[in-house]
Amino acid sequence: MNTDSHSQTAAFIWSVADLLRGDFKQSQYGRVILPFTLLRRLECVLAPTKAAVLAGAQEHQNKPEAVREKLLLRTAEQQFFNASPLTLGTLSDTQTADDLMSYVQAFSQDAREIFDHFHFEDFVQQLAANDLLYQVVQRVASIDLSPATISNYGMGVIFEELIRKFAESSNETAGEHFTPRDIVHLTTSLVLTGQDETLRPHRIATVYDPTAGTGGFLSESDEYIQQVSDQVTVSLHGQELNPESYAICKADMLIKGQDVAQIKLGNTLSDDQLPAERFDFMLANPPFGVEWKKVQKQVTDEHKQKGYDGRFGPGLPRVSDGSLLFLMHLVSKMRSPKDGGSRIGIILNGSPLFTGGAGSGESEIRRYLLQHDLVEAIVALPTDMFYNTGIATYVWVLSNHKPAERRGKVQLINATARYTKMRKSLGSKRQYVTDRDIDEIVRCYGAFQETEESKIFPVEAFGYRRITVERPLRLNFQASPERLAKLDDEKSLQKLPEADREAIRAACATLDAERRYTNRDAFTKDLKAALKPTGLKVGAPVLKALLSALSDRDPEADICTDKKGNPEPDSGLRDNENVPLDESVFDYFEREVKPHVPDAWIDEDKRDELDGRIGIVGFEIPFNRHFYTFEPPRSLEAIDADLKACTDRIKAMIEELSA
């Protein structure tokens, strides 16, 4: 079944919403339609074995519940069953609500639970109260959702289309629930390509998504592995925060025959419900730029208390964007390289590449990933690829068992030009990546060669040391009326009694107002001499305040020195330089800084916490800079010609009007 017919089916299902108009808010349409669609799908999947299950239910009715459930699951040949003789098409028109709820209650426990997450019974009662239930049931019962007509993949597409419509109608963020299938397919292909060793026959391959949504990544990876490998068992694991997305994901897993106990509901960052598990493959599209304030306490506690034994050892990003926390969470789930290691595919926006300077949480996370040689490739995607945003996005591919030729290197792939315009945009999604382009991107990744689209860098290329460059403080001093007026602004002087302040001001005024001192020591000596007759004990804070008010920066003045005779730094002239990681900071300083500011020096006290060397280490991945191509500006003649043509047109138009 092609995508167009999936969209038609989704549109027909959505048309059931026409019945709800007036009695339900728009934001509730999806909450009614999604569980009914799920129910119809489950019913269609169970249809071939329904008679056998009903006979079995009769036969085993007196057996213990656990035994009966096991026997009926075997008879249903699925991970779930329904022991009711009813179907949506045979519900009574007089007691529809009672019949429907008894039908739903007759599902096995895992399937029954799905409807609880939708608060299905509440909506059933509301439909019944508005005399709409029987009509909705009849309409849904008429839709053919059997596996023979619609594959599991196709059903996933239909669910996504419905959720998108539901999200649009209630102004929710559709992109929080699922990732477009073309991006899912590309990311999955990048992560799973060439993994013959992990996907050899009779092996169990484990796949995990910590932001599972409706299960798109899990379904796609399952399908991919089944296509490329023989006799590999795929074990799918996930966790999802949104109860309705979780319910759909769980239903999808049930239909696929997966162990639904491995699909968890809850916040992955604050409550990892698969803490001891490690996985072969991990795929995720965490929400872009979403703050993590709600879980800040739990995450910060784990970072401080567990350090590198927890998930967030290297550092924490700013609270406004938690995507790097999901990346660190995935890294903590990697198998040891001795056990075959793991591969990760995660979709992130641009900020994790470069946000945060040296020493920041983001930079420290990048440093950890790059210095541990975990980043294999980063692929820049075209814009307008997602339902809820048109921003630039990137697929990061990570591995802790890189092949020999990739060790110590990172491949950047610029796939921003590989897109096809959609005939009809879906939300913010106006472009998609065709299967052919996906194959080309994966081939480019696999070839691991320098081309216009692909650049390869050593890990160190993304690192730098931020050194602090100091310049000496040079001040002139003068007891001019303008500067004397500034004494009133000094906090240390404001704390003194009024009489003392007046005495000090009068003493300063005895200095020669015309004389400009260019040496601090000479001025300090004369200032102390002027203050002596007041008899006041002038402490260091007050003296400092006086020197501050009566001074001004002057590049021609003498250098101010400390007690040891060393030059004092001028905080106003302080600067930072980023030195490439593989270069000596002193060589760089002599070449790049000293010729321009001969009196500058490096602050050698500013050292990196981890390696103790001069300069704070930072890491960033300036993706666009590496693919920037300079386009020379147009010639002046061409610009002049354009301007002339434009003014000629305007003249002609004015002449026409005045004619």
Residue 169 binned pLDDT confidence (cut-offs 50, 70, 90): low
Q: Which residue type sits at 73?
A: L
**pLDDT mean over 349-366:** 93
Beta bridge partners of 602: 469
Output the average pLDDT for the chain: 90
pLDDT computed for residue 4 by the predictor: 61
In DSSP notation, 314-338 reads S----TT--HHHHHHHHHHTBPPGG
Q: Are the beta carbons of 138 and 93 closer than 8 angstroms?
A: no
- Pairing mode, strands 429-432 and 463-470: unpaired
Residue 237 binned pLDDT confidence (cut-offs 50, 70, 90): very high
Query: In this predicted model, what pLDDT tens digit does every residue of 296-321 receive, in sequence order?
Result: 999 999 999 999 999 999 999 999 99
pLDDT computed for residue 104 by the predictor: 95
- Classify 215 in phi/psi space as left (phi over 0), alpha (psi -120 to 50) or beta: left
Residue given tokens 């610009």 in the structure block: 639
Query: In this predicted model, what pLDDT tens digit does every residue of 535-571 receive, in sequence order?
Result: 888 889 999 999 999 999 999 999 999 988 999 999 9
* C-alpha torsion 531→536→537→541, nearest 10: -70
Residue 659 binned pLDDT confidence (cut-offs 50, 70, 90): low
Which residues, in sequence order, are CB contacts of 180 under 8 Å at separation 6+?
Answer: 385, 386, 387, 429, 432
172, 525, 644, 650, 651 from 656: Cα distances, Å = 53, 82, 18, 10, 9
Which residue, 485, 486, 484, 487, is CA-closest to 496? 487
pLDDT computed for residue 153 by the predictor: 76
- Domain range annotation of the chain: 1-169, 173-460+626-633, 475-553
Q: pLDDT above 70 covers what percent of the chain?
A: 97
- Asked whether the whole model's pTM tops 0.85, one would answer no
Residue given tokens 């057996």 in the structure block: 63
Which residues, in sequence order, are CB contacts of 121 under 8 Å at separation 6+?
Answer: 101, 115
Q: Which residue has the higher pLDDT, 11 or 586?
A: 586
Q: Which residue type sits at 408?
A: G
**The domains spanning 1-169 and 173-460+626-633 adopt the same CATH topology:** no
Alpha helices in 47-108 (DSSP H): 50-59, 65-76, 96-105
CATH label, 173-460+626-633, candidates 3.40.718.10, 3.40.640.10, 3.40.50.410, 3.40.50.150:
3.40.50.150
Report the SS3 class of residue 414: strand
| The token pair that represents 639 in the structure block | 């610009």
User: CA-CA distance, 333 to 418, in Å (whole number)?
Assistant: 32
Q: Which fold has domain 1-169?
A: Ferritin (1.20.1260)
Q: Which residue has the higher pLDDT, 420 or 239?
A: 239
pLDDT computed for residue 308 by the predictor: 94
